[in-house]
Structure 1
Amino acid sequence: MSEQKLSIDAESYSIDITSNAFSGATQSSSLCTAKELYRLRRVRTRKLGSEAYIFGDPAWDIMLILFIAYKTGDKVSKSSAALAGETAETTGYRILKELDRIGLVKNEKDVFDRRRILVSLTRRACVMMEACLQTPEGYGPTAGSKIE
């Protein structure tokens, strides 16, 4: 697995999910679905402008980014995860604290920089996200599905 880090542009709160760790042939359907959901949510945010906040679900955005990191072997700092929900950083930290309290995320010190905290999904959260992102019951296209 790669030791790449998902990078977040703090100015626009956008996450670069285009690293070479996301090569098409090796992606599972749940990883592809998570990436596409996160991308579509960012497009929606850009198009709705200042009214986008009303449609936000920052906890889900944070879970998507942590799931993508889990599936690709990337590391996510606590500050980057807090920004992933496209809310105020303090709101992101409150969400992470609640996700930790209910056992969906865990924190650990970065072995290369002990000042930095890395955040990741717990095993329970990985199973939950995998189940949510599987098709046909979850998100994403299914073979033979019709849009009416």
Structure 2
Amino acid sequence: MTIALAWVAARQARNRVLDSSLFADPAWDILLDLYICHAQDVRGTISDACIASSVPATTALRWISILESRDLVTRSRDPKDRRRTFLNLSAQGVRKMEEALDGASASDAKLGLGRLRAVK
């Protein structure tokens, strides 16, 4: 999870310095947010994912649908509040994110930064 948090912090730092409209990767931002939720054993919501994506809600919702169609995320209704929908990484989504983050860790190791993602 540490490398996922590092990615989020790096993107936020970049957006403070450079115009954030130059960079848009809503799918990755959504997946990072959901991976962090998974690692912290917290249930994410559609609203949380839209905020994490840093794009208009309609764009985020379109990306969520794409991620869902590729079996990377799943939606489920909150049984206590039908207005809220939970969004989670699927089992395949978790595997793919860990594979991607491990690849980033391997790249960091080549740069002498060491392994950042703590094994859960």
Band of TM-score, shorter chain = 0.7 to 0.9
**Which sections of structure 1, spanning at least 5 residues, go unmatched?**
1-30
- Structure 2 counterparts to residues 40-79 of structure 1, below 5 A: 40-48=10-18, 51-79=19-47
**Which sections of structure 2, spanning at least 5 residues, go unmatched?**
114-120
More helix, by proportion: 2
- Structure 2 counterparts to residues 1-148 of structure 1, below 5 A: 31-48=1-18, 51-134=19-102, 137-139=103-105, 141-142=108-109, 145=112
Partners of 1:78 and 1:110 in 2: how far apart? 11
Partners of 2:73 and 2:99 in 1: how far apart? 17
SS in 2 for 1:83: helix
Q: Which runs of 4+ in 1 moved over 6 A?
A: none
Superposed CA deviations along residues 54-85 of structure 1, whole A, max 9, x for unmatched, are 22211100000000001111111101101211
C-alpha root-mean-square deviation of aligned residues, in Å? 1.8
Query: What TM-score comes out, normalization by structure 1 length?
Result: 0.70
Partner of 1:12: none
Partners of 1:53 and 1:144 in 2: how far apart? 29
Aligned residues: 112
Task: State which drifts further: 72-81 or 59-68.
Answer: 72-81
Query: What TM-score comes out, normalization by structure 2 length?
Result: 0.85
Partners of 2:78 and 2:93 in 1: how far apart? 21
